[in-house]
Amino acid sequence: MKDDVTPTDPVAVQKSAAPANKTVGDVRCANPFMVAENINVFYGDNHAIQDVTLEIAKNEVIALIGPSGCGKSTFLRCLNRMNDSIDSARVTGTITLDGQDIYSKDLDPVALRARVGMVFQKPNPFPKSIYDNVAYGPRIHGLANDRAELDDIVHTSLERAGLLKEVKDRLDEPGTGLSGGQQQRLCIARTIAVNPEVILMDEPCSALDPIATARIEDLMDELSENYAIVIVTHSMQQAARVSRRVAYFHLGHLIEVDDTDKIFTNPQHKLTEDYVTGRIG
């Protein structure tokens, strides 16, 4: 973490205090898998996201950080069209997933969400058994041909979420009876049971204690081998630990995107610097 930058630093002098329209750093990446171009989101008259462009590569963890209300969660929810359910929300710009426009008329959000899974801030298992929680996605999408196959999906998903050992003897017990950290891993297992290509995580550890958080972070590391992970977090330490790239949002603008090391040690933008050094936020 960088805390020795003074206002007289020659680099810092160039940094502008006002939100710029141009994002600093590099919004592009080597093998873009999901590409958001010029995204604007309006909630009624409120312009929540302003002209954000960002590329997300396969097998990377990208962290979205920024002060509360900066639009990072809103941006995240654009990526699997969860904003559709909010009547007043309007999204402009294009987002492509593997070259396919996800806001096009012929793309069903149901199909999109099977490819772009989501883990929420508060663990939200269904009030059903652990087994049914994980099996729900495969069931509605018809991913398993028979019971054995479904059993297999449930077991592998729980295994990959690091939960199988703890729950394998009580799969028929309610998922809501687990501890907070276990519930969140159950939600991750439920998400990966559908075998998505991208996993969106909206502050997945904010309701968890440090030990449970550490387990989820380890899990993210493992999952990034197979999935692109976009994580919104309030914890800069977490962003520093789990992500390869970091995107800093401020008041609806994407201020700066760069490799994690660079954001935390040598941010190019004044606002990014203020935020990562703890002066705002």
Footprint on this chain of other proteins (rule: CB under 8 A): 80, 82, 85, 87, 110-114, 117-120, 122, 124-127, 136-137, 140-141, 174, 176-177, 187, 190-191, 194
Between 119 and 163, name the residue whose CB sits nearer to other proteins: 119
Q: Tell me how far, at minimum, the Cβ of 191 lies from other proteins, in Å.
A: 7
Q: Tell me how far, at minimum, the Cβ of 129 lies from other proteins, in Å.
A: 9
DSSP annotation of 20: P
Q: Tell me how far, at minimum, the Cβ of 31 lies from other proteins, in Å.
A: 25
Q: Of 70, 81, 91, which is closest to residue 247 (Cα–Cα)?
A: 70
Between 31 and 88, name the residue whose CB sits nearer to other proteins: 88
Q: Are strands 32-43 and 89-97 parallel, antiparallel or unpaired?
A: antiparallel
d(CA 30, CA 46): 34
If one counts every other C-beta atom within 10 angstroms of the C-beta of residue 241, the result is 18
d(CA 102, CA 106): 9
Q: Tell me how far, at minimum, the Cβ of 194 lies from other proteins, in Å.
A: 6
AA identity, residue 98: D
Between 11 and 140, name the residue whose CB sits nearer to other proteins: 140
Q: Tell me how far, at minimum, the Cβ of 201 lies from other proteins, in Å.
A: 11
DSSP annotation of 129: B
Between 14 and 88, name the residue whose CB sits nearer to other proteins: 88
Burial 216-231 (b: 16+ CB within 10 A, else e): bbebbeebbeebbbbb
How long, in residues, is the chain?
Answer: 281
Q: Tell me how far, at minimum, the Cβ of 279 lies from other proteins, in Å.
A: 31
Between 23 and 133, name the residue whose CB sits nearer to other proteins: 133
Between 7 and 127, name the residue whose CB sits nearer to other proteins: 127
d(CA 166, CA 184): 13
Q: Are strands 61-65 and 245-250 parallel, antiparallel or unpaired?
A: parallel
